[in-house]
Amino acid sequence: MLLSRFWYVVLALLLGAAVAVLNIATSMYNRAGTRAMGEGLSADGQVVSWYLKDDARQRSAQLIQFALEADIAKFLAKSSENEKEVPSDAKEKVRAALKKIHDGIPEEFNFDAVFAVDQHGRVVAHLGYEQASGMEDFELGGYPVVADALHGYIRDDTLVLDRIYRVVTRPVEFDLGQLPAGAIVGARIVDDRFARELSKRTNAAVAFYTKGQRVASGAPEGFDRSQMDQIVADLPKIDEDEDYRNVGRSGIRLLGEALGVQYTRLPGEAWELGAGFAVGRLPSQVNGPLGFFKRADDRDKQGANVPLVVGIAALAMFLGLVFTLFEHSRPLSGFRKEALRLAKGETDQLAPSKFRGIYRKIASDLNDGIDQVAAKGGVPRRAADLKQVLGDLPAEPQMSAFSFPGSTQEDVVSAEPVSVPEPSSPVQVVKPRPPPRRPGSGSLETTMQSEGTAEGQPHRPPPPRRPGPSAADGLGADDAEWRRVFDEFVATKQQCGENIDGFTFEKFEVTLKKNRDALVQRHGAARVKFSVYVKDGKAALKASPIKE
């Protein structure tokens, strides 16, 4: 079963290589996804910063309408002239003007709060900031962004009051030869609505925080906004980041198992109060080799060469089935048939030569077991095949019997060829009519040659016989005769060019004894004689039971 086992090894190696490649690809993909996530987070942080600045510029443009309003400029100048308090008529006129202009601004550029500040930094009137209602001394002049506006500059900043505000300021001119009469401050609350709008414009997941708490968050479609809540647990550790302390932007930080974030401080007043924003991204990763199939979309699946994959799988299965058919199924079927014949009594031994590999060893072991059981139980067994002992000899066709010179029709019962068509096939006994004795046949060589001629087969004369040992040498009659037959058989095999390595007299003697005992029991003969002849260019034996 070498091919099947080799194929199993090949498939196992291919499977192991495929798993190794998938694991390597998974690691490379995840590493590339993490690197791409880091680059994406840096880009998101820059885009959000750019959006905040651009939004401030656009909203500062809306303040021009407030700065050019005559009532606002006039009454801010009047309030600035009075250092003690803000005139009540100035409050009413300025508030009315603020409300009129604010209602006309498009919703997308509207403010959550608008303040009119005089030259002393006092809030003359305001809209939207209800916390300042009823406060007589509410002022904003101490904030740098407002102070710059009172000195003629247009500024934007992030202030932390009761919450985070994005503010823009613009000076209000009344007398061009003097300092501005005051300033207009437009503020927008940084809340979830602001964060969602920012996320929609930038396609970034963003969260704003201050004093260690998340105050607003927004995320694009397909991103779970609640993921950004994880920054709350990480905010106390953010000051440990050296880049965040010195530059205002942290490195890439991984939160949990699937969220990468980067923190950026908000510039200006909010910097020292720890206010900032964080952008987050989910890394493009796969969980194990099979994760590729989950992340693949229709375009990825269409790009796969399905016919090639199916063809390789089909070829591998076909080769595996063919190998197992020839090396497993067919030998097993043959072994089953022979075992069935043995069970039916059609044969009393298995033929190991018909099998290959382990089945040959099993057949040989079964034969040995059967012989052991038969020997213990005293059951008569048919003589073993000569091939089982003497080696793997080629098949031999059916042959006619012959008689030895000097035997008569009465005392020659039969002449049986000891043939071995297969390595473990049983001995075949052919019972032709006894041939008539021919007078004058005085030598064994002459008889064998005439028989070979009569059967139409070429016959090689055996070599001159070596005188066998006699009873005087310590051997019995059978022993001496068998030694002579053994010598003739070996010589004949050598003449025929056959291999005689491992061919011993002991094996030869065991086979002759089995055949002799079987023939004596079957025919009631007094003894059995064996002779050597050549068949199909091979040395062969014949057994002849003799009645004395």
Q: What mean pLDDT is reported for the chain?
A: 77
Average pLDDT over residues 197-218: 91
Whether residue 106 sits in one domain with residue 199: yes
Q: What is the pLDDT of residue 292?
A: 66
CA distance 284 to 41: 13
Closest by CA position to 430, among listed 458, 455, 460: 455
297 in a domain, yes or no?
no
**Per-residue model confidence as pLDDT tens digits over 417-460:** 554 333 333 333 333 444 444 333 333 332 333 333 333 444 44
14 in a domain, yes or no?
no
In eight-state DSSP terms, residue 137 is: T
Whether residue 386 sits in one domain with residue 360: no
Average pLDDT over residues 496-511: 86
Average pLDDT over residues 373-400: 51
In eight-state DSSP terms, residue 239 is: G
List of long-range contacts for 393-398, beta carbons under 8 Å, 24+ apart: 393/420, 393/423, 393/538, 394/536, 394/538, 395/420, 395/421, 395/422, 396/420, 396/421, 396/535, 396/536, 396/538, 396/540, 397/535, 397/536, 398/428, 398/430
Angle between helices 2-67 and 88-103 (to 10 degrees): 130
Number of domains in the chain: 3
| pLDDT band, residue 82 (cuts 50/70/90) | confident
286 in a domain, yes or no?
no
Whether residue 52 sits in one domain with residue 170: yes
Whether residue 364 sits in one domain with residue 310: yes
Average pLDDT over residues 482-502: 88
CA distance 416 to 530: 9
**Per-residue model confidence as pLDDT tens digits over 271-325:** 888 899 999 998 777 777 677 666 676 776 667 777 877 888 888 888 877 777 7
Is the pLDDT higher at 77 or at 422? 77
Whether residue 271 sits in one domain with residue 133: yes
CA distance 157 to 273: 13
**Virtual torsion, Cα 391, 392, 395, 396, nearest 10 deg:** -20
366 in a domain, yes or no?
yes
What are the angstrom distances between the C-alpha of 247 and each of 204, 241, 242, 263, 452? 22, 10, 8, 11, 113
Question: Domain of 173: which CATH number?
Answer: 3.30.450.20
Whether residue 330 sits in one domain with residue 193: no
In this predicted structure, the answer to whether residue 404 has a pLDDT above a threshold of 50 is: no
**Per-residue model confidence as pLDDT tens digits over 355-365:** 777 778 888 88
Whether residue 363 sits in one domain with residue 266: no
Side chain identity at residue 315, one-letter code: L
Average pLDDT over residues 339-346: 83
24 in a domain, yes or no?
no
Whether residue 127 sits in one domain with residue 269: yes
CA distance 540 to 532: 6
CB of 165 within 8 A of CB of 113?
yes
Q: What is the pLDDT of residue 29?
A: 74
CB of 140 within 8 A of CB of 117?
yes
Average pLDDT over residues 77-84: 88
Domain's final residue, options 329, 353, 381: 381
Q: What is the pLDDT of residue 134?
A: 64
5 in a domain, yes or no?
no
Whether residue 386 sits in one domain with residue 373: no
Whether residue 162 sits in one domain with residue 107: yes
CA distance 358 to 360: 5
Domain's final residue, options 381, 404, 421: 381
12 in a domain, yes or no?
no
Whether residue 530 sits in one domain with residue 405: yes
| pLDDT band, residue 114 (cuts 50/70/90) | very high
**Residue 255: strand, helix, or coil:** strand
11 in a domain, yes or no?
no
Whether residue 390 sits in one domain with residue 521: yes
Q: What is the pLDDT of residue 378?
A: 52
Closest by CA position to 66, among listed 146, 150, 196, 171: 171
Domain that holds residue 356: 305-381
**Residue 418: strand, helix, or coil:** strand
Q: What is the pLDDT of residue 2?
A: 61
Q: Say if residue 319 is exposed, middle or buried (CB neighbours under 10 Å; 0-12, 13-18, 19+).
A: middle
Domain's final residue, options 248, 281, 314: 281
CA distance 465 to 456: 25
List strand residue ranges (DSSP E) for 285-398, in order.
Answer: none
